[in-house]
Amino acid sequence: MTYVDLNPVRAKMATTPEQSHFTSIQRRIKAAMRGKQPERLLPFVGNEHQAMPKGLTFDVTDYLALVDDTGRSLRSDKRGAIASGTANILNRLNIPLESWLKITHEFKTLFTGPVGTLEDLTRYCAHLGKKRIAHASSCRHWHN
């Protein structure tokens, strides 16, 4: 999976995995930011030592780190290397690890409406013609 998720980076179609269009990692990131598992992909179910439903036996945050670390381990003169000076994936997404874990595990209790950065939410409300930005404080808290 990691090899495939890094293909657009190796092909120089993207500089980071989250910018790789039509990849499972981009679908997983977008779904996780909505507090969901992506449709039509086998879910990450966590620790393999617990009784779990069918799925990939590790956590999504571990997979993100694996892809990021793998991209960095390639020699910088090779195609597809993520520059060593590039921030780690959660930093590039501007999401603190604690926030990422809380958002993905407690999404339904934290949010009841649209979710995203304050900039995204402002754009969304403008598109709908709404003057009041609902849940702005949650977006400021979780996406800063």
Q: Return the domain boundaries, the chain.
A: 2-93
Q: How far apart are CA 100 and CA 96, in angstroms?
A: 6
Report which of 61, 35, 44 is spatially closest to residue 113, judged by C-alpha positions: 35
Pair 35, 25: CB distance under 8 Å: no
Give pTM, 2 decimals. Answer: 0.50
Q: Please, is 77 exposed, middle or buried when counting C-beta atoms within 10 Å of its C-beta (0-12, 13-18, 19+)?
A: exposed
9 within 8 A of 82, measured Cβ to Cβ: yes
Write out the chain's pLDDT in tens, 144 residues.
Answer: 888 888 888 888 888 888 888 899 898 888 877 777 788 888 776 655 555 556 666 677 778 887 887 777 766 666 667 776 677 777 777 777 777 767 666 766 766 666 667 777 788 788 888 877 766 766 666 554
